């Protein structure tokens, strides 16, 4: 039980700052009382925005429109390439354009319930409120959302909801939204409101007198390490799903920005809350470098099944109806194939573990469109999912119009992230986190089409207000510049760190270590977790990490482009995060959303929460030792909603 | 069912920096499953190079799903390789046979200087967008999204053009290094929509003028569209030219009378 001893109680830094009053009035109350910066004074403030995905690009563009001087950073070659571009399915908003009973409070309820009651009511309600503005904003920017013949916007439904509130642009919603935000950002770059530093990676955060003073970056083209000072710093650097090595994230997604901030004093919240997406293409071989998601929207028209018999050898189309198990429809009749992600994923895992998997490696389940093709015609199916079907065929080499797709769960999204208060400020004053990088709105499980919504809500409609509130008191006060000794010290540390990776001169590449680390985390801190496994991981990861420090091989030098060196720095941080994830999973002795502890399940095998003891956010404080962080708690109280057991039966 | 490819000869372009002299380096891949993607084949090669104490081949990539536009590569002289409508990252080794020789080069175009090995600098594309590839709509002032109906065929055509991933294959494939397909795609995306009308001619003029500063001129070869992984149609170039021409004599004060 040693793990539980360091459980301390509520910490003064974890003040959520949610305004008092009725839920529906909180955001208005905040805005009415927030301090403002007068338009002429805004240009006296420099704001650094790291990341140009949906959250970062929207924040940078909006802050520049308001008049702040913005420096934006991305490790990509262009702001248009952020991982947000890969989102396929859609974005939620409580527009109720379909008149099917949607409302702000219903979206709020669905999100809290979907997150298994592990998120903050105040934040989530605000998210649902501003969701409607996002769609207006994006349409005005020229996002070509799908339309009905009458010219009005079309919607589809997504897992965990009984209304149609998802807006989409073919299977490329993330691309179209990101291009909208990128274009708005580009306009500001053209006008001189934003300076963009591309191919430039944040490698540390500088904190002076308890306040974020700026960042230290490494230029990926030259290797040069440089300091940047600002009045406020926003991290919109995405999620950490790549800790598993194989995930649906883009190859370069990493935790470095959030992790370096954590090491400088920002608490890291709920790192074990990771989401496994039920519909990805199963791993084909050992060279596999990433897994590809097949949008969840496919479950609107596809039926999930496995053969009833584990020894089944017939191809799918020869297996008669009576020998198929449409297990989601059987187990969850009211949501059927649209049961939430965590539930669908675990159901697939159980059947595959039982030997009922399909495909050459028996590592998938079928997602079958034959009924939809018969009912709607091939044209309609092609119109809805054409590009996804093509993508599947390119990767799997099979035609899903003729044979069912094979799918299996894969890591997809991380609900955990930097702890932030209602203002999206971390425990380091002046340092904000937005988008997937923060932990805020999704609790223990995120609903489909809600990440795009949250990223844009944070960047467009929340941060611009909360940052002004934070900056106003700093007017005409001087802040430390990059000549401050602390900047010099952190810069030197960063230079030494990168040189040290090169100096190890061992035998194994960063990718080797990343793959091995990923296997441990997937096996013990993936879809199902238990005490034994987590304890095993907590002893195996440090051993592998020691090996990394002794046996890493980075070829080439620190000057000029060196992708092996970039990777080494990112893997280093994944190791430290991995330890924290496992420790977080071990100390959360309940099951909630994506965190499924085998020991805590109902007789029917569903997640069993422990609201008595775990109705809180676990926020971890860095102590200097990755395996020995301090756990703090932010208690969650549900004033509007009753804590209830999630049921999708 | 998967097969194993044997004995592939890979000739890959190595170049230390923008001004360094480059050369082809030849490697043999003894065997690899045809389920591997093309970039996974390069991963395997890079792991081997590191094991041998050599520098890994530098190449740009990220999503590996054909959507971010980061990957590039001329493969046997074709931008993004032999498969129609497929980015390099989505190309799989099943497109090759045992004993094949595969020649891998960076995009070669005046406006895309080589950074290192197979990595090039495509920021000229960003300069074009910064000059006008947007609809001015500052945060907060947007009207209700359903206020202006967009006829479905218009939304669909706009989406067809908006599908461009900014990879630059069109430029690399063009004998003149022209960017007309990329720029045409962005102009068509925005200029087809009702929301894009207010800045329609200003946009066409600014973007085309910026394009001309960086890129070669179009002589209607059509190689761009053939190489485009998103099958952007040559029609976008016609639309761009039309709006650019109109922009030169259109009385902007009468824009809303059309
Ligand atoms: C395949 C896939 C499909 C998805 N589909 C959907 C969907 O249909 N609907 C939905 O709502 N959500 C979806 N999601 C989730 C959603 O796309 C992401 O959660 C969201 O886009 C994250 O946006 P972001 O702005 O927070 O971060 P990102 O888009 O990941 O951007 C991160 C940015 O930070 C920069 N960065 C990171 N670290 C550093 C550093 N150290 N230095 C400098 N720059 C840095 C990067 O360059 C990048 O610009 C999907 C996710 C995946 C993987
Ligand atoms: S037009 Fe096609 S080839 Fe050119 S950048 Fe766009 S997607 Fe790439
Ligand atoms: S890596 Fe993203 S398109 Fe190829």
Query: What is the reported pLDDT for B1?
Result: 61
Closest alpha carbon to A430 in A619, A266, A630:
A266
Q: For CATH 1.10.1060.10, list the domain ranges present in chain B.
A: 123-249
* Per-residue pLDDT, A2: 36
Q: Inspect the interface and report whether the beta carbons of B193 and A58 lie closer than 8 Å.
A: no
Closest CA–CA distance from residue B251 to any residue of chain A (Å): 24
Least Cα separation, residue A5 to chain B (angstroms) = 42
Residue among A295, A282, A306, A250 at smallest CA distance from A390: A295
Distance of CA A502 to the CA centre of its chain: 31
- In chain B, CATH 3.10.20.30 sits at 4-116
- Report whether residue A83 contacts ligand 1, using a CB cutoff of 6 Å: yes
Structure tokens that stand for A636 in this block:
């969650």
Tell me the HSE value of B214 on the side-chain side, using a 13 A CA sphere.
23
Q: What confidence score (pLDDT) does residue B250 get?
A: 78
Round the CA-based radius of gyration of chain A to a whole number and report it.
24
Chain A residues touching residue B47 (CB < 8 angstroms): 509, 511-512
Owner of token pair 């053209």: A190
CA–CA gap between residue A401 and residue A390 (Å, rounded)? 10
pLDDT one-digit tens code per residue, A87-135: 988 999 999 999 999 999 999 999 999 999 999 999 999 999 999 999 9
Contact A284 B32 (CB under 8 A): no
Report pLDDT for A285: 87
Confidence label for A8 from pLDDT (cuts 50, 70 and 90): very low
Tell me: the pLDDT tens digits for A66-95? 999 999 999 999 999 999 999 988 999 999
B218 ligand 3 Cβ < 6 A: no
Give the model's confidence band at A202: pLDDT under 50 very low, under 70 low, under 90 confident, else very high: very high
- Pick one of 3.90.700.10, 1.40.20.10, 3.90.850.10, 3.40.50.720 as the CATH number of A277-412: 3.90.700.10
Q: Which CATH class is domain B123-249?
A: mainly alpha
Nearest to B231 by CA among B66, B114, B119, B94: B66
Give the HSE-up count for residue A27: Cα atoms under 13 Å, Cβ half-sphere. 16
- E strands of A128-248, at which residues? 166-167, 194-197, 200-208, 211-219, 225-229, 232-235
pLDDT for A189 beyond 60: yes
A80 Cα–ligand 2 center, Å: 13
CATH classification number, B4-116, choose in 3.20.20.70, 3.10.20.30, 3.30.870.10, 3.20.20.150: 3.10.20.30
Q: Which chain B residues are closer than 8 Å to A83 by Cβ? A: 62-63, 68
Does residue A43 carry a catalytic annotation?
no
Residue of A97, A172, A285 lying closest to B35 (CB–CB): A285
Domain edges within chain A: 277-412, 485-608
CB contact under 8 A, B146 and A555: no
Q: Report the b/e string of A615-629 with b at 16+ CB within 10 A.
A: bbbbbbbbeeebeeb
Tokens of A271: 């790192």
For A394-515, where are the E strands, in sequence order? 405-414, 417-418, 431-433
pLDDT of A452 over the 90 cut: yes
Side-chain-side CA neighbours of B188 within 13 Å: the count stands at 27
pLDDT at site B251:
74
DSSP assignment letter at A643: P
Q: Is A158 strand, coil or helix?
A: coil
Atom 8, ligand 2: residue with shortest CA distance: B167
Instruction: Note the ligand closest to the C-alpha atom of A89.
Output: 1
Output the CA–CA distances (angstroms, integers) from residue A575 to A93, A254, A504, A521, in the order listed. Answer: 37, 11, 17, 10
Tell me the CA–centroid distance for residue A249 and ligand 1, in Å. Answer: 8
pTM for the whole thing?
0.96
Decide if A596 contacts A527 (C-beta within 8 A).
Answer: yes
Q: Which chain B residue shows the shortest CA-CA distance from A82?
A: B68
Catalytic residue among A81, A341, A446, A609: A341
Closest CA to A92 of A134, A123, A54: A134
CATH number assigned to the domain covering A485-608: 1.20.58.100
SS3 content of chain B, % helix, strand, coil (to 5): 40, 15, 45
Q: What is the pLDDT of residue B258?
A: 57
Cross-chain residue pair A183–B134, CB shorter than 8 Å: yes
* Closest protein CA for atom 2 of ligand 2: B228
| Residue ID of nearest Cα to ligand 1 atom 5 | A87
What percent of chain A has pLDDT above 90? 88
Question: Is A140–B195 a contact, with Cβ atoms under 8 angstroms apart?
Answer: yes
β pairing state of A232-235 and A431-433: parallel
Can you tell me which atom of ligand 2 is nearest the CA of B125?
5
The first and second tokens of residue A19, run together, are 């305004």
- pLDDT band for A6, please (50, 70, 90 cuts): very low
Which residues, other chains included, contact A309 with Cβ-Cβ below 8 Å and sequence gap of 6+? Answer: A323, A356
Tell whether the model's pLDDT for residue A381 goes beyond 90: yes
Chain B residues with CB inside 8 Å of A91's CB? none
pLDDT tens for chain B, 258 residues: list them.
Answer: 678 999 999 999 999 999 999 999 999 999 999 999 999 999 999 999 999 999 999 999 999 999 999 999 999 999 999 999 999 999 999 999 999 999 999 999 999 999 999 999 999 999 999 999 999 999 999 999 999 999 999 999 999 999 999 999 999 999 999 999 999 999 999 999 999 999 999 999 999 999 999 999 999 999 999 999 999 999 999 999 999 999 988 777 777 775
Task: Check: CB of residue A385 under 8 Å from CB of residue A401.
Answer: no
Please compute the mean of the pLDDT values over residues A372-399 and round it to a whole number: 91
- Nearest chain A residue to B36 by CA distance is A287
Residues 6+ apart with CB under 8 A from A561: A220, A221, B58, B115, B116, B119
pLDDT of the residue at A37: 96
Which member of A85, A139, A288 has the closest CB to residue B63? A85
**Most distant pair of Cα atoms in chain A: their distance:** 76
Q: Is the CB of B102 under 6 A from ligand 2?
A: no
């Amino acid at each position: 039980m040693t793990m539980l001893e360091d459980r301390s109680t509520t910490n003064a830094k974890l003040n959520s700052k949610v305004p008092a009053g009725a839920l529906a009035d909180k955001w208005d109350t905040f805005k009415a009382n927030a301090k403002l910066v007068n338009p002429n004074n805004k240009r006296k403030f420099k704001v650094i925005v790291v990341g140009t995905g949906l959250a970062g690009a929207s924040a940078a563009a909006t802050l520049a429109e308001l008049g702040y001087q913005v420096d934006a950073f991305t490790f990509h070659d262009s702001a248009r390439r952020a991982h947000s571009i890969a989102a396929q399915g859609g974005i939620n908003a409580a527009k109720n354009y379909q008149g099917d009973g949607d409302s702000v409070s219903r979206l709020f309820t669905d999100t809290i319930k979907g997150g298994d009651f592990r998120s903050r009511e105040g934040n989530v309600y605000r998210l649902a409120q501003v969701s409607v503005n996002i769609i207006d904003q994006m349409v005005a920017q020229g996002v070509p959302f799908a339309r009905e013949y009458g010219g009005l916007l079309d919607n589809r439904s997504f897992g965990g909801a009984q209304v149609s509130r998802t807006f989409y642009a073919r299977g490329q919603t993330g691309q179209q939204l990101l291009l909208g935000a990128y274009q708005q950002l580009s306009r500001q770059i053209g006008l001189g409101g934003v300076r963009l530093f591309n191919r430039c990676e944040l490698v540390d955060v500088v904190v002076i007198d308890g306040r974020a003073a700026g960042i230290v970056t490494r230029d990926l083209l030259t290797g040069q390490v440089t300091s940047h000072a600002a009045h406020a710093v926003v991290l919109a650097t995405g999620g950490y799903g790549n800790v598993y090595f194989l995930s649906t994230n883009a190859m370069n997604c990493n935790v470095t920005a959030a992790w370096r901030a954590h090491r400088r004093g920002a608490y890291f919240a709920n790192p074990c809350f990771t989401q496994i997406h039920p519909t990805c293409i199963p791993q084909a071989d050992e060279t596999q470098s990433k897994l590809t998601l097949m949008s969840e929207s496919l479950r609107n028209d596809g039926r999930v099944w496995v053969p009833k018999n584990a020894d089944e050898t017939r191809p799918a189309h020869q297996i008669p109806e009576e020998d198929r198990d449409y297990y989601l429809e059987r187990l969850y009749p009211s949501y059927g194939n649209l049961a939430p992600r965590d539930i669908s994923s675990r159901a697939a895992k159980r059947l595959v573990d039982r030997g009922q998997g399909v495909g050459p490696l028996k590592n998938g389940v079928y997602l079958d469109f034959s009924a939809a093709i018969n009912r709607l015609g091939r044209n309609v199916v092609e119109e809805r999912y054409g590009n996804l079907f093509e993508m599947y065929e390119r990767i799997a080499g099979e035609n899903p119009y003729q044979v069912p797709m094979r799918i299996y769960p894969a890591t997809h999204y991380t609900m955990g992230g930097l702890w932030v208060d209602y203002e999206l400020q971390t425990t380091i004053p002046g340092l904000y986190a937005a988008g997937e990088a923060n932990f805020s709105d999704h609790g223990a499980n995120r609903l489909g089409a809600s990440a795009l919504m949250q990223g844009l809500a944070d960047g467009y409609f929340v941060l611009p207000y909360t940052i002004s509130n934070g900056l106003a008191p700093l007017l005409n006060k001087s802040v430390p510049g990059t000549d401050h000794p602390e900047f010099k010290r952190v810069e030197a540390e960063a230079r030494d760190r990168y040189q040290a990776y090169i100096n190890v001169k061992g035998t194994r590449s960063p990718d080797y270590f990343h793959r091995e680390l990923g296997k441990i985390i997937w096996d013990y801190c993936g879809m199902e977790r238990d005490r034994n496994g987590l304890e095993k991981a907590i002893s195996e990861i440090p051993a592998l990490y020691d090996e990394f420090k002794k046996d890493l091989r980075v070829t080439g030098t620190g000057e000029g482009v060196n992708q092996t060196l970039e990777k080494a720095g990112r893997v280093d941080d994944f190791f430290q995060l991995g330890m924290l994830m496992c420790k977080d999973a071990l100390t959360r002795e309940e099951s909630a959303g994506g965190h499924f502890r085998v020991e805590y399940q109902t007789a029917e095998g569903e997640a069993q929460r422990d609201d008595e003891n775990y109705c809180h956010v676990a926020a971890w404080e860095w102590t200097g030792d990755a395996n020995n962080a301090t756990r703090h708690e932010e208690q969650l109280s549900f004033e509007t909603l009753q804590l209830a057991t999630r049921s999708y039966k | 069912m998967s097969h194993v490819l044997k004995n592939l000869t890979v000739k890959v372009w190595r170049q230390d920096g923008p001004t360094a002299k480059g050369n082809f380096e030849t490697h043999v891949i003894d065997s690899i499953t045809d389920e591997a993607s093309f970039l996974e084949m390069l991963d395997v090669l890079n792991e081997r190079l590191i094991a041998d104490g050599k520098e890994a081949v530098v190449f740009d990539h990220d999503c590996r799903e054909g959507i971010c536009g980061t990957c590039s590569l001329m493969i046997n002289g074709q931008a993004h390789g032999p498969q129609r409508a497929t980015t390099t990252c989505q190309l799989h080794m099943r497109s090759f046979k045992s004993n094949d020789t595969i020649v891998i080069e960076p995009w070669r175009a005046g406006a895309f200087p080589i950074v290192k090995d197979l990595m090039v600098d495509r920021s000229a594309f960003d300069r074009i967008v910064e000059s006008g590839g947007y609809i001015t709509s500052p945060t907060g002032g947007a009207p209700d999204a359903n206020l202006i109906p967009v006829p479905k065929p218009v939304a669909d055509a706009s989406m067809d053009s908006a599908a461009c991933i900014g990879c630059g294959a069109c430029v690399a494939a063009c004998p003149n290094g022209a960017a007309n397909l990329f720029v045409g795609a962005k102009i068509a995306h925005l200029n087809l929509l009702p929301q894009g009308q207010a800045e329609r001619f200003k946009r066409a003029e600014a973007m085309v003028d910026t394009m001309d500063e960086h890129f070669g001129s179009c002589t209607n070869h059509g190689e761009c569209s053939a190489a485009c992984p998103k099958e952007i149609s040559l029609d976008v170039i016609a639309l761009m030219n039309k709006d650019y021409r109109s922009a030169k004599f259109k009385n902007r004060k009468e824009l809303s009378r059309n």
